[in-house]
C-alpha cells in the first residue's frame, strides 16, 4: 500500500482499500443474523404462520363490497331475523315450467334460476304456478338449506367469473332490499375483522335501492340514518373498528351518469359517513369504459369539493388503457389493477406516486383473471415501489378473510416483515378518511405493531399459544388448513 499513486491530487488509497475489503471473505461473525421474521418463516409450519398472521395487527380493508362480504351462513341467519322489521323471504326450490318459462333468461331475474330470493310482498304477486316453485326461507329442509348456502359462494371447481357475475347477485335479489339486514352484515364483518386485528373498513355499501317489506322505496338519507344508528349500538362499538363508506355506480348501466350525479350529491351531503363514489361492474362490458364518464365528472367537480373516487380498473385479462383512463378522469385509488403490468410507461410513472392499487389476490384467482398466483403482478408492484394494499373484495363469496390474503401473499411471494407492515400502513395512509382520524389510526396501528413485534421477539411461537384463528373453507381447500385446534403446539 506504500506505493499507492496520487491522481489529480487525490489518493487512490481509499479505492484500493475498498476493493481489497470487497474481495476478502466475510467472516461468519461479521454477517448480520437473519431478521427474526425470516427465522420464524424458515421453521414455521403453515398453521403457525397462519396463526401469526391472524394475530398480527392490520390496518384497513379499502376494497370490499358489503353484500359480497357476507358469509352464506350470515345471510341465512340475518334474513330470518329480519322478521322483526317485517321482512319475510321466499326462495325458489323447483322449476314447474310456468307460463312457458315466463321470463327473460338474459335479464336480471332469469326464470331458470334455482334458489332465487323474493320478499313476501313480491311472492304474493306471483301466479299460483309460480308460487308453487317457492318456499319460505325458514321452511327449507336440510338438503335445500345446504344447497341455498352453497348457491351464493364459489365453492365448486367449475364455478368462476360467469357464475359470480351472472348468478350470485341475481339469486340474492330481494334479500338485499332490507337496509337493516345490510347494516347487520356490516357489524358481523366488523366483529370478524376486529378479531383479525383490523382497525378500519372502507366499505362499498350503498344507500340506494332499498325498500320496506311492501316494496316501497326507502330514501337514501333515511338508509344512511339506519346505518348511523346501527354503528352506535354496543356490539358495533365494541369491535374497535372504524367504518367509512362508498357509494357505487354500475358502470355499464344505461343510467350510470345519472347514478354518478345522484351519488356525488348524496356523498357530499353525508360526508361524515360516506367519502367516495366507486365505479363497479364487469369491466369487460365495454359500455362501462372509463372515458364514458369524463365530461360528467368534469361537470361534477365544478360543484363538489369533498367526494373521492376509487374506481375498479385493470380487472381484466387483456391489455387495455383502462387504468390510464381511470386516472385521467380523476380516480384517487385503483381497484385491482391487474393489467397495469402491460402498460410499461404507466407502471414506471406510478412508482412512489400518490395512487394506490387495491390488491385482491383471492378474488383475481377465483374469478380467473389469473390462473396461478405466480401470474399475479402484485410482487412486481410491491417491489417496484407502486403503492399497494391487500383487500378482500367479496370475501363472503370466497368464504375467506383478510388473513387469507396475507397468508397467500407471504406463502406465494415470500414477503418480509417490512413489506407486511408497509401493506398495513398503506391501507391507512391511502384511506379517504380525514387527516385527523387517519393520524389517530396510524398511531394505533404503529403502537400495536410495536407491541406485537416485541412480544413475538421475546416469546417466539409461545406468543401464539392462546390464538385460535377463525377460518373458512378457502384456506382449508387451498392450503389444507382446516383444524387449528390440532395444529398448534
H helices of 211-304, where?
220-231, 234-237, 256-269, 294-300
Handedness of CA 470, 474, 475, 481 (dihedral sign): positive
> Residue 86 CA to chain centroid, in angstroms?
31
- pLDDT tens readout for residues 74-99: 999 999 999 999 999 999 999 999 97
Give residue 356's pLDDT. 98
Flag the least confident range among 1-15, 244-258, 400-414: 1-15
DSSP 8-state class, residue 139? G
Q: Which residue has the cell 321466499?
A: 90
pLDDT > 90? residue 300: yes
pLDDT-derived band of residue 20, with 50, 70 and 90 as boundaries? very low
pLDDT > 90? residue 125: yes
Give residue 26's pLDDT. 46
Helix (H) or strand (E) holding 295: helix 294-300
The mean of the pLDDT values for the chain is 91
Asked if 441 contacts 428 with a C-beta cutoff of 8 angstroms, the reply is yes
The CATH T-level fold of domain 48-71+178-453 is TIM Barrel (3.20.20)
Average pLDDT over every residue of 70-76:
97
Please give the Cα distance from 335 to 479 (Å, whole number). 26
Parallel/antiparallel/unpaired status of strands 242-250 and 134-136: unpaired
* Domain range summary for the chain, segments of one domain joined by +: 48-71+178-453, 88-170
Q: Is 457 helix (H, G, I), strand (E, B) or coil?
A: helix
The angle formed by the CA atoms of residues 358, 361 and 365, to the nearest 5 degrees, is 135
Give residue 64's pLDDT. 96
- pLDDT tens readout for residues 184-216: 999 999 999 999 999 999 999 999 999 999 999
- pLDDT tens readout for residues 377-415: 999 999 999 999 999 999 999 999 999 999 999 999 999
Asked if 356 contacts 424 with a C-beta cutoff of 8 angstroms, the reply is no
Residue 192 burial (CB count, 10 A): 20
Q: Is 1 helix (H, G, I), strand (E, B) or coil?
A: coil
Average pLDDT over every residue of 439-463:
95
Share of the chain above pLDDT 90, in %: 81
Please give the Cα distance from 358 to 426 (Å, whole number). 10
Question: Strand locations in 8-164, DSSP E?
Answer: 10-11, 60-65, 89-92, 117-119, 134-136
Q: Which residue has the cell 350470515?
A: 74
pLDDT > 80? residue 21: no
Give residue 167's pLDDT. 84
End-to-end CA gap in the chain:
59
- pLDDT tens readout for residues 144-159: 999 999 999 988 888 8
Give residue 17's pLDDT. 33
pLDDT-derived band of residue 33, with 50, 70 and 90 as boundaries? confident
Amino acid at each position: 500500500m506504500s506505493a499507492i499513486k496520487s491522481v489529480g491530487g487525490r489518493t487512490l488509497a481509499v479505492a484500493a482499500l475498498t476493493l481489497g475489503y470487497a474481495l476478502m471473505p466475510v467472516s461468519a461473525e461479521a454477517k448480520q443474523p437473519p431478521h427474526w421474521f425470516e427465522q420464524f418463516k424458515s421453521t414455521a409450519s403453515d398453521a403457525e404462520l397462519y396463526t401469526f398472521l391472524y394475530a398480527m395487527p392490520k390496518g384497513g380493508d379499502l376494497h370490499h363490497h358489503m353484500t359480497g362480504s357476507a358469509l352464506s351462513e350470515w345471510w341465512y341467519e340475518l334474513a330470518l331475523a329480519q322478521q322483526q322489521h317485517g321482512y319475510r323471504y321466499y326462495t325458489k326450490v323447483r322449476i314447474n315450467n310456468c307460463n312457458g318459462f315466463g321470463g327473460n333468461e338474459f335479464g336480471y331475474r332469469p326464470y331458470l334460476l334455482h334458489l332465487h330470493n323474493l320478499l313476501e310482498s313480491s311472492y304474493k304477486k306471483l301466479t299460483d304456478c309460480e308460487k308453487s316453485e317457492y318456499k319460505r326461507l325458514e321452511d327449507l329442509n336440510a338438503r335445500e338449506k345446504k344447497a341455498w348456502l352453497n348457491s351464493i359462494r364459489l365453492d365448486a371447481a367449475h364455478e368462476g367469473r360467469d357464475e359470480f357475475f351472472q348468478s350470485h347477485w341475481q339469486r340474492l335479489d330481494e334479500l338485499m332490499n332490507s337496509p337493516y339486514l345490510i347494516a347487520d352484515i356490516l357489524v358481523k364483518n366488523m366483529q370478524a375483522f376486529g378479531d383479525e386485528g383490523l382497525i378500519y373498513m372502507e366499505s362499498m355499501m350503498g344507500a340506494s335501492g332499498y325498500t320496506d317489506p311492501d316494496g316501497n322505496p326507502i330514501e337514501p338519507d333515511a338508509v344512511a340514518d339506519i346505518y348511523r344508528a346501527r354503528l352506535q349500538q354496543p356490539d358495533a362499538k365494541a369491535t374497535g373498528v372504524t367504518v367509512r363508506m362508498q357509494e357505487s355506480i354500475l358502470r355499464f348501466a344505461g343510467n350510470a351518469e345519472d347514478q354518478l350525479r345522484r351519488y356525488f350529491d348524496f356523498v357530499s351531503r353525508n360526508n361524515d359517513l360516506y367519502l367516495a363514489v366507486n365505479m363497479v361492474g364487469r369491466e369487460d362490458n365495454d359500455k362501462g369504459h372509463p372515458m364514458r364518464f369524463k365530461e360528467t365528472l368534469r361537470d361534477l367537480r365544478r360543484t363538489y369539493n369533498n367526494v373521492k373516487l376509487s374506481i375498479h380498473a385493470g380487472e381484466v385479462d387483456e391489455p387495455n388503457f383502462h387504468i390510464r383512463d381511470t386516472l385521467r378522469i380523476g380516480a384517487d385509488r385503483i381497484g385491482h389493477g391487474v393489467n397495469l403490468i402491460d402498460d410499461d410507461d404507466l407502471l414506471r410513472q406510478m412508482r412512489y406516486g400518490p395512487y394506490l392499487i387495491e390488491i385482491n389476490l383471492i378474488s383475481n384467482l377465483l374469478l380467473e383473471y389469473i390462473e396461478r398466483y405466480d401470474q399475479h403482478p402484485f410482487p412486481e408492484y410491491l417491489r417496484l415501489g407502486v403503492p399497494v394494499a391487500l383487500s378482500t373484495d367479496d370475501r363472503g363469496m370466497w368464504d375467506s378473510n383478510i388473513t387469507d390474503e396475507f397468508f397467500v401473499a407471504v406463502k406465494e411471494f415470500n414477503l418480509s416483515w417490512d413489506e407486511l407492515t408497509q401493506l398495513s400502513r398503506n391501507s391507512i395512509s391511502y384511506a379517504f378518511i380525514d387527516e385527523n382520524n387517519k393520524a389517530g389510526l396510524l398511531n394505533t396501528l404503529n403502537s400495536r405493531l410495536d407491541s406485537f413485534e416485541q412480544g413475538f421477539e421475546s416469546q417466539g411461537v409461545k406468543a401464539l399459544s392462546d390464538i385460535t384463528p377463525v377460518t373458512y373453507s378457502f384456506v382449508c381447500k387451498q392450503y389444507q388448513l382446516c383444524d387449528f385446534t390440532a395444529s398448534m403446539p
